[in-house]
């Protein structure tokens, strides 16, 4: 359910970003962020457009892996262009957690895991990516002992 909500939110935000980017009132200094965000959304939507295999688990992972990677790509754009400290912490958390969920999905399906270095976007500010933020209760749904 959480993933479905996240997917709906991502699609909605992507649609809004496209409309906003096309708007004559969009600030020109936001253009690089909007372009990066749109590229991430386009890549994600293309990756999520799968042909059903008849295996629910495989289809779920095939759609969620590009969805999670899209979140990482959009979070990296936030770190490059955003200024709000709370949103930047959320972006850092996404960058820290989503690749782990991608790896867990691949592992659950017996797929090979890509090397960690190849999955990083090297144009991102690596110093901000290495700072692990404190967990945010609203986003961390795991039960603690």
List per-residue pLDDT tens for the chain, 145 residues long.
455 444 454 555 555 555 555 455 666 789 999 999 999 999 999 999 999 999 999 999 999 999 999 999 999 999 999 999 999 999 999 999 999 999 999 998 888 887 665 444 433 333 333 333 333 333 443 443 4
pLDDT at 64: 96
Cα gap 77→34, rounded to integer Å = 9
pLDDT at 17: 52
Q: What is the number of alpha carbons within 13 Å of residue 51 lying toward its C-beta?
A: 0
Cα gap 22→117, rounded to integer Å = 35
pLDDT at 131: 37
Is domain 2-129 in CATH 1.20.1260, yes or no? yes
pLDDT at 52: 95
> What is the C-alpha R_g of the chain?
16
pLDDT at 139: 40
* 78: its two tokens: 């936030």
Judge contact between 98 and 68, C-beta under 8 A: yes
pLDDT at 60: 96
Kindly list the domain boundaries of the chain, sorted by start residue: 2-129
Burial of 27 (0-12, 13-18, 19+ CB in 10 A): exposed
């Amino acid at each position: 359910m959480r993933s479905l909500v996240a997917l709906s939110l991502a699609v909605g935000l992507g649609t809004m970003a496209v409309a906003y980017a096309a708007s004559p009132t969009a600030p020109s200094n936001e253009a690089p962020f909007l372009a990066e965000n749109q590229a991430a959304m386009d890549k994600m939507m293309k990756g999520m457009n799968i042909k059903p295999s008849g295996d629910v688990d495989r289809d779920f992972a095939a759609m969620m892996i590009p969805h999670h990677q899209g979140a990482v790509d959009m979070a990296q754009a936030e770190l490059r262009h955003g200024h709000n400290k709370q949103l930047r912490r959320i972006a850092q958390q996404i960058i820290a957690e989503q690749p782990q969920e991608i790896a867990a999905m691949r592992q659950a399906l017996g797929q090979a895991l890509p090397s960690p270095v190849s999955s990083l976007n090297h144009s991102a500010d690596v110093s901000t990516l290495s700072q692990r933020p404190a967990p945010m209760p609203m986003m961390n749904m795991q039960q603690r002992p």
